[in-house]
Amino acid sequence: MPFKPIVFNEGEPLDPQKLTDLNTNIKEAFDNSDNLYSSTVNNITQTLKPVIYANKIEATDLSPNTPKAFNIDLGNGFDSTQPIYITATPRGIVKSNENITITVYRGGSTPQIYVQTNSKERRSLTIDWVAIQLIEAL
């Protein structure tokens, strides 16, 4: 059933049928929301859906101006033959004179997050990260 536009005019009494149609629209949108978008490759259209995994690492024993690597575990939900996109960010307060560099490295079999700070006081940092992969919807 196609999406049915519904208009609620100001001052108009609520129409039970409009509310029912609105509920149907919301349900259909929710039921179809696992499909992120469609893409065309070589004239073949395929529906893709996201696989998303998020976690955190505790970056400890940091030294000023020295990058330190931390492995991240992606679990078993990703297809190793497809690209995985990872982003990371520090959690908490970063002082105005403090520089923190966070880099995601996917060169080996285990992804790593490199953390570097210029602060002599900061010895640890919580890093939140998110990994996303688009897979073909079945």
Q: Looking at residue 102, what is its pLDDT?
A: 93
Strand order in the sheet with 68-71: 68-71, 112-117, 100-105
pLDDT at 95 over 80: yes
Element (H, E) at 49: strand 44-59
- Give pLDDT tens digits for 34-81: 555 555 555 556 677 788 889 999 999 999 999 999 998 887 778 778
pLDDT at 8 over 60: yes
pLDDT at 125 over 90: yes
Residues 115, 118, 124: CA angle, nearest 5 degrees: 50
- Alpha helices by DSSP H, listed for the chain, are 16-31
Listed in sequence order, the residues at least 6 apart from 128 whose beta carbon sits closer than 8 Å to its beta carbon are 54, 55, 56, 88, 89, 90, 91
Average pLDDT, the chain: 83
Tokens of 26: 């919301």
Architecture of domain 50-136: Sandwich (2.60)
